[in-house]
Structure formats: structure tokens, C-alpha cells
Structure 1
Amino acid sequence: MTKLTIVANIIANEDKIELVKTELLKLIEITRGEEGCLQYDLHQDNENQAHFMFYENWVNRDLWQTHMSAQHLADYLAATDGAVASFTLNEMTVIG
């Protein structure tokens, strides 16, 4: 199986930036300990504080899919319900 790179962009509602940031930070330690997680880094845009981006690398797509069904992600979704303006996710493969 091929290593999988994930780029996830989260845009928080302007009045919910700190809530979303707090909840995203909670995901880091537990996710980094998951089987198959090679890299799980959270970024915040320097000019648009509402924009967060996860850059992730996984051993394979199956292990990433296991992560996506984890309880801590369900908890994050519940805690941020109505606080996220947009979310986009790209599954990518290193080509060079």
C-alpha cells in the first residue's frame, strides 16, 4: 500500500476561533499515538487566524480510515458543531 498524505483545511467561524483551536489541539497527541500515523501537524494561518490546516502522513489509507472513525474525532465534531464555516480534505500521494 502507498503512503497517504492528508491536507485538511478548517475555517472556523470568526466568533468561534478559540473554541475550534482548542478542540483541534486536543486531537494531536492521541492521533500521533495511533497505528499508522507518521505525521500529524496542525498549522494556523498567520494572516487569517480562523484558518487551520492539518498536514498528515499515514502508512496507508486503511489506517487513516480507522483514524477517521475514532471516538476522539466524533468528540471533536460534537464539540465544534456549528463553529466551523468550512472544511475541505485532500487525499494526496507524494510524486516527487
Structure 2
Amino acid sequence: MSTLTIIANIHAKADKIDLVKTELLKLVPITRADAGCINYDLHQNNEDPAHFTFFENWESREIWQEHMNAPHLAAYMAAIDGAVEQFTFTEMTKID
């Protein structure tokens, strides 16, 4: 089975950028230690500091779904409640 690539875009509210960034950074070491996580890289847009992007690769979609239900992700969602303007993710498969 092919690996799963996730591109997640998080747009923080203008007055909540620091909060969202702090909470996103907490996810990085915990998630990188998850079984099946190939990489989990957080980026911040140079021209729009409220825009964060994760580039993630997982061994399978099932493993990624386990991550989405993990306690550390639930804690993140509770901590940023009301601080995010928009969140989108795209599932992709590498073809070459």
C-alpha cells in the first residue's frame, strides 16, 4: 500500500497567532514519535503569519486516522477552540 501524504492548512485568527503556533509546536515531537509517522513538518507562511501548514507522510491512511483520534490531538483541539479561522486538509498519494 502507498504512503499517505497530508497537507493540512491552519489559519489562526489574527489575535490568536501566538496561541495557535504554541499549540501546533506541541504536536510536533509527540506526533513524530507515533508509530507509522514518516514525517510531520510544520511551516509558517512568510507573508501571512496566521497561516500554518503541516506536510505529513504516514505509512497508511489507517495509521493517520489513529493519529486524528489520539489524545494529544484532542488536547490541541480543546486548547485552540475559537482561535482558528479555517482548517483544511488534503489527502494525497505520491505517484512517482
Report the TM-score when normalising by structure 1. Answer: 0.98
CA distance in 2, matches of 1:63, 1:2: 12
Determine the structure 1 residue equivalent to 2:34: 34
**Residues 7-86 of structure 1: pairs in structure 2 closer than 5 A:** 7-86=7-86
5+ long unaligned stretches in structure 1: none
Task: Say which SS state the counterpart of residue 53 (structure 1) adopts.
Answer: strand
Residue deviations 1:15-55 (CA, integer Å, cap 9, x gap): 00000000000000000000100000000000000000000
Deviation at 1:95, TM superposition (A): 1.6
Using the alignment, how far apart are the partners of 1:95 and 1:12 within structure 2?
32
Distance in 1 between residues matched to 2:24 and 2:35, nearest whole Å: 19
Runs (5+) with no aligned partner, structure 2: none
Aligned to 2:3: 3
What is the TM-score normalised by the length of structure 2?
0.98
SS of 1:57's partner is strand
Percent identity of equivalent pairs? 64
Aligned residues: 96
